[in-house]
Structure 1
Amino acid sequence: MPMQYPGHIVKVGETDAAVVKALKARLNTELGIGNDPALRLDETDANFGAKMRQVVKLFQARNVDPEGRPLKQDGEVGAITWAVLFGQQAVQNLSQAIDPLLAEVIKVAQGEEAKKVREQPRNSNGGPEVDAYLASVGLGSGFSWCCSFTYWCFEQAARQLKRSNPMVRTGGCLKHWNEAPSKGAKLIAAAAALADPGLLRPGMLFIMDHGKGLGHTGLIESVAGGLLTTIEGNTDGSGTREGGGVYRLVRKVSEINKGYIDYSGVR
């Protein structure tokens, strides 16, 4: 059984001796440096110092994440680097929402993604489905619609379960972030989730702040350590905030710069 991610970023100054020693042993093995005195890490030494940081950066330079993207070469071991070192089973993997409403929200969003909803015409912020998303929050065709998409999914799920919809009725991502606590939702700051992706669950909503009042949002479908599979409206394969449809994407937790909204347990 591999050592599980400790729930925080491991870096210079780490005080957990067991974590540091396990990392050193794994780095020596994975990089094949056990017989190289210049690079080999002393597995009996519990200190995470400058040499270990350089070896971590070397590992990051030589490896990619499960999506084939380069690892960030920062010399720190977050959830993604940990998973590449010890295997995906060493980080949290969640694909099901526990809360019944959020499970239904995911199902609704999956249905829209399966339909390959696209703006009609292109780059119009309009079309039959898009107009319905916007109308659910009281907006007409032509507005950015990522937040409206999430509200529409919540509304359909609530109707299916014959219960009230707890989500803030808004098409504004940052307004949603500011007002969600008034509805009983919990907020998780981006920095807290980056240190410990174990805080995240399927059914949560992510919020990105692009400045000048602009933002982007989407629904977490599943969590795999530092990687999130999401379903988002008004995006495309590049992950932009002004794309042309509903897409399933894989994002790094580090991409989310505002935080997460959790409506689990809210009536």
Structure 2
Amino acid sequence: MRYPGRVVKVGETDARIVKALKTALNKALVLRGSEAIVLEPDNPAFGPQMKQAVKLFQARHLDEQGQPLKTDGEVGSLTWAALFGPADVPQHVQPHDPLLVTVLAVAGSQADAGVREQPRNSNRGPEVDDYLRRAGMQPGVAWCCAFTYWCFDEASRQTGQANPMFKTAGCLHHWQNAPGQGARRLLARDAVADPGRVQPGAIFIMDFGGGLGHTGLVERIEGGYIHTIEGNTDASQGREGGGVYRLQRKLASINKGFIDYA
């Protein structure tokens, strides 16, 4: 059964969804004796007992990447995939917008080339300096957003069109000003509820407080996970890493939202 595009929790009113979940939970848990939780599929209520069953399932199962599920008694995309299989949650692998296809190709070329800061931990290097200058900044500062701008600018030059991205090297500055460029913003909570709304080529924004943030490009979406191409990071997924990397992040780890220039 396909993921309905929202988190399913206590109070759900769609009897068809509740019945499918109860049937799947009964099959997955198979408990007996005093521990038994037997749900009635024909009862359309998502109540406390069903929440308890969901929490038990989450405690005993991993997501498709082998990571623990959040034990909250709510059925989001990761729990749905664990119950019904990853094919029943959103999978997006290719942008529909030709410019964004080129943006991801440009970004991927930098990841494949293994761009790194020179020297380490300096926010400098031939490519890094170019990213920053293109975004209107002097070399030597955090450059994740400048990398994203450079990818859009290179793609726009290659395709002979104007760069639609707001020119900035600041992640949160970008978030504030992107709508003025015609971009659409998707709040983090709405993306978690419905991963199908996140498209390849979108830009994720993370907010760490105090004006600090991190950003990168979404290469593809697999249910509750996004695969990204990012600058100024590393395998630790930090915001002050030393290169351009392809990474995988839980969708729920993106706490600000997404910007879409499609």
TM over 0.5: yes
Find 1:110's aligned residue among 88, 108, 114: 108
User: How far off its partner does 1:33 sit?
Assistant: 3.1
User: How far off its partner does 1:44 sit?
Assistant: 1.6
* Aligned counterpart, 1:97: 95
**1:201 aligned onto 2:199:** yes
Residue deviations 1:28-53, cap 9 Å, x none?
Answer: 11222388873121122111111111
Distance in structure 2 (CA, Å) of the matches to 1:170 and 1:93: 30
Residue deviations 1:211-256, cap 9 Å, x none?
Answer: 0111111100001111111111111112111111111111111111
- AA at the equivalent of 2:201: G
Does the aligned pair in 2 maintain the 1:28–1:34 contact within 8 Å? no
Find 2:64's aligned residue among 63, 66, 80: 66
* Aligned counterpart, 1:221: 219
Distance in structure 2 (CA, Å) of the matches to 1:31 and 1:231: 38
Residues 1:103 and 1:35: Cα distance change in structure 2 (over 3 Å): farther
Consecutive unaligned residues of structure 1, counting only runs of 5 or more, are: none
- AA at the equivalent of 2:74: E
- AA at the equivalent of 2:197: L
* Aligned counterpart, 2:78: 80
* Aligned counterpart, 2:39: 41
Q: Say which is worse superposed, 101-110 or 31-40, in terms of deviation.
A: 31-40
Residues 1:36 and 1:46: Cα distance change in structure 2 (over 3 Å): farther
* Aligned counterpart, 1:159: 157
2:201 counterpart SS class: coil
- AA at the equivalent of 2:39: L
Distance in structure 1 (CA, Å) of the matches to 2:251 and 2:192: 6
Q: CA RMSD in A?
A: 1.3
Q: Say which is worse superposed, 142-151 or 38-47, in terms of deviation.
A: 38-47
Consecutive unaligned residues of structure 2, counting only runs of 5 or more, are: none
How many residue pairs get aligned? The number is 262
* Aligned counterpart, 1:30: 28
Q: Say which is worse superposed, 42-51 or 99-108, in terms of deviation.
A: 42-51
* Aligned counterpart, 1:129: 127
Runs of 4+ in 1 over 6 A off after TM superposition: 34-37
The share of aligned pairs that are identical, in percent, is 57
